[in-house]
């Protein structure tokens, strides 16, 4: 067994135990392997070991790896999306965009999806600490943002994503 296989087995065991402990079904939990800085050969090895979902924070890396690896992978875009990269994630091959944080990006995603005849599942990124240097929708703007997204036929909100500020030592 390779170290990747061993690591995946350990992660699966921990997720299974956590699911049982909290009364959740294991099938409700998705493991997304963050593949940034990892070459295509190692991603393929993780796929052979049972991982299907891979997250990239750079669209260029996603495109390169997607083209090398072909079908059988669920790709997630996990970083902030620049407006000039929207057209690359609206081709129907991105499983989930984890970081929708601006109306202008949402509008362009919707426009490109409609043009391509595709749809896109998204998580809205919430800025829970109201940090002006961080991406995300502020909590007080969330309801209006979700209302605006609900009017877009090709964008489907699947949930929220938030990155908390670092914990302070007590």
Residue 165's pLDDT is 78
pLDDT tens, residue by residue, 63-109? 999 999 999 999 999 989 999 999 999 999 999 999 999 999 999 99
Contacts of 55 (CB under 8 A, 6+ apart): 32, 33, 34, 35, 36, 75, 76, 77, 78, 98
Mark the ranges of the chain whose per-residue pLDDT is less than 50: none
At residue 1, the pLDDT reads 61
DSSP 74-126: EEEE-SPPPGGGGGGS-SS-EEEEEEE--HHHHHHHHHHHHHHT--EEEEEEE
Would you mind telling me the total number of residues written for the chain in this entry? 170
Quick one: pLDDT at residue 89? 97
Write the CA distances from 38 to 33, 51, 55, 85, integer angstroms.
Answer: 10, 14, 11, 21
- Per-residue pLDDT, 45: 95
Q: pTM of the entire structure? A: 0.90
Instruction: Give the residue extent of every domain in the chain.
Output: 97-163
Q: What pLDDT is stored for residue 55 in this prediction?
A: 97
């Amino acid at each position: 067994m390779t170290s990747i296989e061993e690591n995946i087995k350990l992660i699966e065991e921990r997720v299974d135990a956590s699911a049982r402990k909290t009364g959740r079904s294991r099938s409700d939990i998705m493991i997304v392997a963050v593949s940034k800085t990892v070459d295509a050969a190692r991603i393929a090895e993780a796929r052979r070991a049972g991982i299907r979902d891979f997250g990239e924070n750079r669209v260029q890396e996603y495109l390169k790896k997607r083209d090398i690896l072909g079908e059988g992978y669920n790709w997630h875009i996990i970083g902030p999306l620049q407006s000039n990269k929207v057209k690359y994630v609206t081709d129907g091959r991105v499983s989930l965009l984890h970081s929708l944080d601006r109306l202008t990006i949402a509008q362009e995603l919707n426009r490109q999806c409609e043009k391509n005849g595709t749809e896109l599942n998204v998580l809205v990124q919430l800025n829970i600490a109201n940090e002006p240097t961080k991406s995300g929708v502020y909590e007080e703007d969330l309801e209006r943002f979700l209302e605006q997204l609900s009017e877009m036929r090709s964008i489907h909100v699947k949930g929220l994503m938030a990155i908390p500020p670092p914990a302070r030592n007590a």
